[in-house]
Chains A and B, each alone.
Chain A
Amino acid sequence: MTLNKNIIDIIKVQNSCGGVIQELYNYETRPNDAMRESYKGAKIDDAICLEIIEYDSFDDELTLSPDTQQYYQTRLGQNNETTIDSIDTKLLKLKTELSYYNKRVTAKESTDKEIRNLSKILNQIPTLLRYNLYAISSNSIFAFKNEPNFEIKMDKLDVSKKEIKQLVEASISVDKFLKENQNFFKSMNNHRVNSIILKINKNTLELEYSFRMLYEDIKRFINKSIKDGEFIKKLQKLRELKTQNLLFSKTDIEEKLAKRNHIVEPIRDKKLYPLDKMFEYIDTIQEIIQKRKIDIQDTKEETELSYNMDEVIKIEKTLYNYPKLHEQFLSQDDDLATFLQTNSIDKSKLLGVFIRLLKNYFLKYKIDYEDFVEIDKRKYVIVKGL
């Protein structure tokens, strides 16, 4: 089994374990049997099939299987019997048992007990190596993907890196021990011991690849995290420069921005609302009027009765003294159009005078857009003085 497959399996098991443990808890706290029964579906059945949990049909009890429990204890560092250091301890125990075995052989005594002990310890070694591999793998992936604090993440990844090195050394020690003592084991001529040693050798070969892959994965996690750390530092620096108004002088942001191909900006329709303020367009209107005046001049027929527009304006200004009209308007109660009509303004000039007053004094007028007064079939908005 390769490490990649292992990691996926581990994540799957972990994910299902998380849900299963929660379900297990829920199952145990169901208020009545009927609800407990209905809850037996879903993941619990799968977990029982996968031997993650065990179900006792006699007393209806659900428990974590010893394997799952041991795995979690190893991962959480809650079991001193399953740590990486415990592999060295097991090797020491093996050495001691072998020395007892030798003494018994020399004394021509029964070696059954020593062989039983040796088998038992040897049998634990592959599981220990595997559990610790899973634990380091899970812890490093969890730290890399889920630890929000950058410094804690780096610490945890460093610990995982040290642990995988330690685990590789422990595995090498196991190999070395088996090679150094292979003559003893052969001399035992015990079927069980031989099969366990074969199992250890097979496991070690499989695990060797997994160790290497996990070591590479952890190195990759660390390198990626270092890069992330540098990016975080840069963001903090940029923010600091922004706060000090030094962003543009102390960085090449403008240059980089100029070189970048930016995503197209959304196209929005600019709507002209009826409530648009007339005075915002006065300059434009004046320009149009100005041009129109030239057009009129250009197209008019040359006759003796031709007139100069500036002259007309001058005459109008004399005829209609706008500041005075404005003052008069403010001193009475009628709306502007009615006021102008009753003020002997030439009918044909009424609209022009109305607009001019509005243009000049709009800040002092209140305009009612909802209501109109009709004069000569033309509607004028109601304008009153403020």
Chain B
Amino acid sequence: MLIDTKELLPQHLQKIYQIILRGEFINENSSKKGNNELYDAIANKETEVREYFKAIGYILFKREGYFYFAHDDAPNTPSALEKIVDYIEIANFLKMLDSNFGVSYRFRLDSVENLLNNNIELQEIVFKMKGLNANTNREYIQKIIDRLRKDGFVEETNSTNAEYVVLNSYDYIESFLDEIEVYE
């Protein structure tokens, strides 16, 4: 298939390259400047973008409200496994904290901290979570949110009030965990 690169705007291609280098998702519900605009641009030229990047070894994947790129022949890396295993604990903790936690969930740091303050069972769970060196409930919550932000699953919407939104890309983790079959 011939790809008409004129159809693809150079600034979008540049952004896509940067996103690939940083290993990020492209979310429709991101309010970060340019991210949702890029989502629309890719959605409009999905076939062209897919073919263009396929030629250089990247496959474009479209999921519910987000895009991401994968290597066409990348083997499983230990970090991918480690990440998923980490998220079993994180996703479980967040669902137990608030069963509504999921894509598009909006929350404030204060309110989530209150939920944790009132739940002794969850406090015990979070204390045992690996790699969280924290002293207070707020610090634990902050560290988990920081991890979600770093991995591209959560975005801050208001820095003054510490308000966040769960991005569509969180489905990447939830859908995978949901697919795992437990042998009885």
Using a CB–CB distance below 8 Å, which chain A residues touch chain B?
145-150, 153, 225, 228-229, 231-232, 234-239, 241-242, 247, 250-254, 256-258, 260-267
9 shortest interchain CB distances as A-B pairs: A266-B23, A148-B98, A235-B92, A261-B70, A150-B99, A263-B68, A238-B88, A239-B92, A252-B181
A237 touches B182 (CB 8 A): yes
Of the residues A228, A256, A264, contact of B176 by C-beta under 8 Å: A256
Contacts of B99 in A (CB 8 A): 147-150, 153, 225, 228-229, 232
Contacts of A256 in B (CB 8 A): 176, 179-181
B100 touches A263 (CB 8 A): no
A263 touches B23 (CB 8 A): yes
**Residues of chain B in range 59-92 having any CB-CB distance to chain A below 8 Å:** 59, 61, 68-71, 74, 76-77, 79-81, 84-85, 88-89, 91-92
Q: Does B43 contact A (CB under 8 A)?
A: no
Contacts of A266 in B (CB 8 A): 21-24
Bound-state Cα–Cα, A232 to B74, Å:
31
A147 touches B181 (CB 8 A): no
- Further contacts, 13 of them, CB under 8 A, given A247-B85, A264-B69: A231-B95, A232-B99, A235-B91, A235-B177, A236-B92, A236-B96, A241-B182, A242-B89, A256-B180, A257-B76, A257-B84, A266-B22, A267-B23
Looking across the interface, which residue of chain B has its beta carbon closest to that of A249? B183
A261 touches B97 (CB 8 A): no
CB proximity of B85 to chain A, nearest CB, Å: 7
Bound-state Cα–Cα, A231 to B74, Å:
29
Of the residues B21, B58, B182, contact of A238 by C-beta under 8 Å: B182
Bound-state Cα–Cα, A231 to B177, Å:
9
The tally of CB-CB contacts under 8 A between chains A and B is: 108
B100 touches A145 (CB 8 A): yes
Contacts of B162 in A (CB 8 A): none
A261 touches B96 (CB 8 A): no
Contacts of A153 in B (CB 8 A): 99
Contacts of A239 in B (CB 8 A): 88-89, 92
A232 touches B69 (CB 8 A): no
A232 touches B95 (CB 8 A): yes
Of the residues A225, A253, A263, contact of B180 by C-beta under 8 Å: A253
Given known contacts A238-B88, A239-B92, A264 and B174 CB-to-CB distance under 8 angstroms: no
Q: Does B7 contact A (CB under 8 A)?
A: no
Contacts of B74 in A (CB 8 A): 262, 264
CB proximity of A155 to chain B, nearest CB, Å: 13
Bound-state Cα–Cα, A243 to B84, Å:
15
B 87-119 binary contact with A (CB < 8 Å = 1; else 0): 011011001111110100000000000010000
Q: Does B124 contact A (CB under 8 A)?
A: no
Bound-state Cα–Cα, A260 to B76, Å:
9
Looking across the interface, which residue of chain B has its beta carbon closest to that of A230? B178
A267 touches B21 (CB 8 A): yes
Q: Does B127 contact A (CB under 8 A)?
A: no
Q: Does B13 contact A (CB under 8 A)?
A: no
Residue in A225, A235, A238, A247 whose Cβ sees the most chain B Cβ within 10 Å: A235
Of the residues B71, B95, B97, contact of A264 by C-beta under 8 Å: B71
Bound-state Cα–Cα, A239 to B20, Å:
31
B180 touches A148 (CB 8 A): no
Bound-state Cα–Cα, A260 to B173, Å:
11
CB proximity of B86 to chain A, nearest CB, Å: 10
B172 touches A242 (CB 8 A): no
Contacts of A147 in B (CB 8 A): 99-100
Q: Does B39 contact A (CB under 8 A)?
A: no
A148 touches B97 (CB 8 A): yes
Contacts of B85 in A (CB 8 A): 242, 247, 253
A148 touches B100 (CB 8 A): yes
CB proximity of B181 to chain A, nearest CB, Å: 5
B177 touches A238 (CB 8 A): yes
Of the residues B77, B96, B183, contact of A232 by C-beta under 8 Å: B96
Looking across the interface, which residue of chain B has its beta carbon closest to that of A252? B181
Sample (5) of A-B pairs whose CB atoms are under 8 Å apart? A147-B99, A148-B98, A239-B88, A251-B182, A264-B20
Contacts of A262 in B (CB 8 A): 70-71, 74, 76-77, 80
B61 touches A250 (CB 8 A): no
CB proximity of A86 to chain B, nearest CB, Å: 33
CB proximity of A267 to chain B, nearest CB, Å: 5
Bound-state Cα–Cα, A264 to B22, Å:
8
Contacts of B52 in A (CB 8 A): none
Contacts of B69 in A (CB 8 A): 263-264
Bound-state Cα–Cα, A349 to B153, Å:
60
